[in-house]
A = this chain, B = another copy of it.
């Protein structure tokens, strides 16, 4: 089954407000195997509103709309949908009494305008709203269903759960959505596409979405079917083929974030970690400590922007900085070694680089970063030039640092095989 979501309200067409109800509604509909194929956001304008509903009614059997059920002249959803479905609006005495009662409870008299909220299109089912004055409406017409819900999330969510969901469950077919998410680090979007396209194009029944963000790519696989076993088997098969194609570049197969994966690896290996950061300015420490309970593996970190602090906090010899430069493979290694020894952690990470926009040179352009990982058996180092602005460079650098920790555990402290570690 396919559905559309229509969000009504001129405030949603300003630079300040987004329709967030649709995330909740999409998640709920997906659970039932219902796919959202379009979202439309329209203002409080009768003509445009009518057009949005009319078009959607032609396309899909289910529409969930939010907003425009208030008492004011601006609130046009009720009237528009009634007119479109050729239904008369009839005063519902029960709703009127309920609204009057709500105002009485607040010690106020019901303003005349609120009568509008008690008008119900002929044949519509009323969805009670114990958290507000605007009731919702459920309409059926030639096999199509339309739910009109109030805009405020704290009214919409319980109304969906208590009154829309049961109605949808009655209608639902055996078809459900099956979903897998893979996350990949250390690889560009095009290179990834080239490796996995020959695989996913063999499965036209599975929808593949590739989402690229700085330093990581998400691959979503979704399929809709009533045959759960077949779906799981197909998805397993694709995931296995992806694993062969992407090898150690896949860092998560269950939607876990990089931070969560690293937390899990450190815990499982009873390892601790510390960090000495220059250009990332605390971002690595912040990401490591964003996970609840991180104090069990993160002991501490230093942000040593100045050369003096690199020496005093991470024991980087001043002569080394002098001879090799603060942004160098050698200083990254010394930072990693120094912080690990000073803190007494299993692992130590050192990062030094030029996040920009200033500070670059021909030899060491903006984006140049050296990242080192020190462990009892030695120290690994990677020198990279990241693209993008200050924020992107810092994020990339923190992501690669975390990925080096991941690969360290994946290969038991050894080096990854050449193919797998090759960045493409």
Contacts and interface: CB of A to CB of B under 8 A. Distances in A.
A346 interface: no
A94 interface: no
A3 to B, nearest CB: 10
Given A154-B388, A300-B306, A52 B23 contact: no
B154 A389 contact: yes
Interface in A165-213: 188-191, 193-194, 197, 201, 207-212
A295 interface: yes
B36 A424 contact: no
Contacts of A10: 207, 209
A112 interface: yes
A10 B179 CA distance: 14
Contacts of A390: 290, 292
B309 A305 contact: no
Contact of A194 (B112, B301, B357, B387): B112
B305 A300 contact: yes
B41 A13 contact: no
Contacts of A11: 209, 211, 220
Contacts of A39: 12-13, 40-41
A55 interface: yes
A309 B339 CA distance: 12
A283 to B, nearest CB: 5
A114 interface: yes
A108 B424 contact: yes
B281 A303 contact: no
A13 B41 CA distance: 13
Contacts of A24: 15
How many protomers of this protein does the assembly include? 2
Nearest to A357: B292
Chain A interface helix/strand/loop/mixed: mixed
Interface residues of A, number: 103
Interface in A187-243: 188-191, 193-194, 197, 201, 207-212, 220, 222
Nearest to A194: B111
Contact of A286 (B19, B283, B305, B358): B283
Interface stretch (A70-78, A368-376, A407-415): A70-78
Nearest to A386: B106
Contacts of A73: 197, 201
A299 B357 CA distance: 19
Given A37-B13, A111-B194, A154-B389, A303 B301 contact: yes
Given A286-B281, A313-B313, A37 B48 contact: yes
Interface string A279-295: 01111111011101111
Contacts of A391: 290
